[in-house]
């Protein structure tokens, strides 16, 4: 229970409200003590005024005791101009501390008020200060500290109880407000996320946002949108998986049919009919492309990410092997220039990198490039490999869907799987493949791979 957000909110609310009340309580006690002492000075001033009405500033012993008892003091001393009036018992007790109220900073008043609350012994105090009735008159009274301490303690208890009640009421109201505005909506969001995780394809588990316009409302709407998009993506993925399985089965059978047709087509080349011999190469080429399309589709549909066999090796010899493989192809006359510095190494799966760079190089050759340059440069912990060609460039439609399978093909009859597979291989290594530029002067791809 104490680990819940609502319980923590309640505890923190009470704590901070009590802290605020303490900051108010301490100065209040100090001000009360000062007011109590000023009241003694004011009462002493009024008591001494009776001396002005008495003949020769003399009062009877009975009246003097009544005045002193009414003020609660052992003696009163008033200095008015050059005159001095005294109203005191014959033998006042000795004074333990003198308090001058004329100049007392708040910090000192607070310290003295706290000392009064903590002190237990009874003392006699001399209090000196200007009269609240007339600032030009200085009053001095001798009092016991016990009544002061009793009044301060009583005031402190009243303030403490009042502060406690205010704290509890404030904490309860703040708690209920936060519970209604924050905790309950967050609990709904959490429950929706947990429920959606159990069955993301269930439309009933998608969160229904409220009409709030604050941050909570934004979070609710974004959660609902994310869940809806994720559900749609999962449904599409399921349909694509089913479609891929169906396509794999169809392509498997179709490839067998086309292979049989290819065998028959090869025999047509020996036909005595010149028209048959003339159209046979076109037919064989079309069947070859169809078989290649089926093979590429099957390979992509059945693809499973295999464990990488990383190795640290020099890049230049690999590029030389790729150049030999591409240049020996009689269908293209493309020169592959190896501009990789000797000694530059990468840490990748050699077979997959060979396949990746071969795909890019053959794509450039089949697009009509006369020359393909492969260079590399180490930048920090990665190696950037540039594949540049002097071909006609990529059309705008191909650039928009360049790395999408079955959509990013440039040439007629292509599947668009080459670049999609190449980027996937690069990302499996923790790198990436991107198009730098493409125009009339050629195309450049950048491949980033880990150096070590």
Q: Is residue 87's pLDDT more than 70? A: yes
Question: What pLDDT score was predicted for residue 331?
Answer: 58
Cα separation of 418 and 399, whole Å? 14
The residue ranking higher by pLDDT, 436 or 275, is 436
Question: What pLDDT score was predicted for residue 156?
Answer: 85
Centroid of chain to Cα 116: 50
Q: Is residue 245's pLDDT more than 80? A: no
Question: What pLDDT score was predicted for residue 302?
Answer: 58
Question: What pLDDT score was predicted for residue 174?
Answer: 79
Q: Following CA atoms 334, 336, 337, 340 in sequence, which dihedral angle do they give, to the nearest 10 degrees?
A: 160
- For the chain, give the percent of residues with pLDDT over 70: 78
Beta strand segments in 5-82, E: 75-80
The band of 2, judged by pLDDT with boundaries at 50, 70 and 90, is low
Q: For 75-86, what is the mean pLDDT?
A: 74
Q: Is residue 413's pLDDT more than 60? A: no
Q: For 396-402, what is the mean pLDDT?
A: 72
Q: Is residue 383's pLDDT more than 60? A: yes
DSSP 8-state code for residue 57: G
Among 14-23, 312-321, 385-394, the range scoring the smallest mean pLDDT is 14-23
Q: Is residue 106's pLDDT more than 80? A: no
Report CA torsion sign: 39, 41, 47, 49: negative
Question: What pLDDT score was predicted for residue 166?
Answer: 79
Q: For 263-269, what is the mean pLDDT?
A: 67
Question: What pLDDT score was predicted for residue 59?
Answer: 62
- Packing angle of the helix pair 274-301, 417-428 (nearest 10 deg): 30
Supply the mean pLDDT for the chain.
78
- Residue 79 and residue 137 in contact, taking contact as beta carbons nearer than 8 Å: yes
The band of 267, judged by pLDDT with boundaries at 50, 70 and 90, is low
The residue ranking higher by pLDDT, 275 or 302, is 275
Show Cβ contacts of residue 207 under 8 Å, excluding neighbours closer than 6 positions.
Answer: 188, 189, 192, 193, 196, 220, 223, 224, 227
Q: Is residue 330's pLDDT more than 60? A: no
Cα separation of 67 and 165, whole Å? 41
Q: What is the pLDDT of residues 131-188, one digit of tens each?
A: 877 778 888 888 888 888 888 888 888 888 887 787 778 778 877 887 888 888 888 8
Determine the length of the chain: 452
Question: What pLDDT score was predicted for residue 303?
Answer: 56
**Helix, strand, or coil here: 177?**
helix
- Residue 92 and residue 62 in contact, taking contact as beta carbons nearer than 8 Å: no
Q: For 419-440, what is the mean pLDDT?
A: 83
The residue ranking higher by pLDDT, 351 or 247, is 351
Q: What architecture does CATH give domain 310-450? A: 2-Layer Sandwich (3.30)
Given the structure tokens 């105090």, which residue do they identify? 125
Q: For 35-64, what is the mean pLDDT?
A: 73
The band of 326, judged by pLDDT with boundaries at 50, 70 and 90, is confident
Q: For 420-430, what is the mean pLDDT?
A: 81
Choose from 72-76, 202-206, 221-225, 426-430 the range with maximum mean pLDDT. 221-225
| Domain chopping of the chain, boundaries | 5-170, 215-301, 310-450
- Residue 97 and residue 73 in contact, taking contact as beta carbons nearer than 8 Å: no
The band of 266, judged by pLDDT with boundaries at 50, 70 and 90, is low
> Tokens for 269?
């080349």
The residue ranking higher by pLDDT, 450 or 284, is 450
Cα separation of 306 and 43, whole Å? 98
Q: For 426-451, what is the mean pLDDT?
A: 86
Question: What pLDDT score was predicted for residue 178?
Answer: 79
- For the chain, give the percent of residues with pLDDT over 90: 1
The band of 373, judged by pLDDT with boundaries at 50, 70 and 90, is very high
């Amino acid at each position: 229970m104490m680990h819940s957000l609502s319980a923590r909110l309640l505890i923190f609310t009470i704590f901070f409200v009590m802290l605020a009340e303490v900051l108010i309580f301490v100065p209040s006690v100090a001000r009360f003590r000062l007011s109590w002492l000023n009241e003694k000075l004011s009462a002493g001033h009024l008591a001494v005024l009776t001396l002005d009405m008495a003949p020769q500033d003399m009062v009877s012993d009975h009246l003097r005791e009544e005045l002193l008892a009414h003020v609660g003091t052992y003696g009163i001393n008033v200095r008015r101009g050059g005159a001095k009036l005294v109203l005191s018992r014959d033998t006042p007790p000795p004074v333990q501390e003198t308090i001058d109220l004329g100049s007392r900073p708040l910090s000192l008043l607070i310290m003295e008020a706290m000392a009064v609350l903590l002190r237990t012994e009874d003392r006699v105090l001399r209090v000196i200060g200007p009269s609240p009735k007339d600032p030009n008159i200085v009053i001095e009274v001798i009092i016991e500290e016990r009544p002061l301490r009793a009044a301060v303690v009583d005031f402190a208890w009243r303030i403490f109880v009042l502060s406690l009640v205010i704290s509890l009421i404030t904490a309860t109201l703040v708690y209920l407000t936060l519970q209604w505005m924050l905790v309950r909506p967050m609990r709904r969001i959490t429950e929706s996320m947990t429920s959606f995780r159990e069955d993301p394809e269930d439309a009933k588990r998608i969160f229904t946002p409220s009409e709030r316009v604050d941050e909570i409302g934004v979070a609710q709407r974004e959660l609902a949108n994310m869940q809806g998009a994720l559900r749609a993506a999962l449904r599409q993925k399921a349909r694509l998986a089913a479609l891929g399985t169906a396509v794999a089965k169809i392509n498997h059978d179709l490839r067998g049919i086309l292979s049989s047709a290819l065998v028959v087509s090869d025999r047509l080349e020996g036909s005595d009919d010149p028209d048959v011999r003339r159209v046979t190469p076109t037919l064989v080429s079309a069947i070859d492309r169809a078989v290649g399309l089926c093979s590429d589709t099957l390979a992509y549909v059945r693809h499973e990410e295999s464990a990488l066999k990383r190795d640290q090796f020099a890049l230049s010899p690999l590029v030389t092997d790729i150049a030999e493989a591409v240049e020996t192809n009689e269908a293209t006359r493309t020169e592959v220039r190896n501009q990789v510095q000797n000694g530059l190494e990468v840490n990748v799966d050699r077979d997959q990198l060979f396949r990746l760079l071969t795909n890019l190089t053959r794509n450039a050759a089949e697009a009509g490039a006369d020359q393909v340059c492969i260079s590399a440069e180490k930048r920090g912990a990665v190696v950037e490999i540039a594949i540049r060609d002097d071909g006609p460039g990529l059309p705008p439609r191909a650039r928009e869907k360049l790395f999408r399978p079955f959509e990013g093909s440039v040439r007629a009859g292509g599947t668009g799987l080459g670049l999609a597979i190449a980027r996937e291989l690069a990302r499996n290594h923790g790198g990436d493949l991107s198009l730098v530029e493409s125009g009339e002067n050629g195309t450049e791809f950048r491949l980033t791979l880990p150096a070590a």
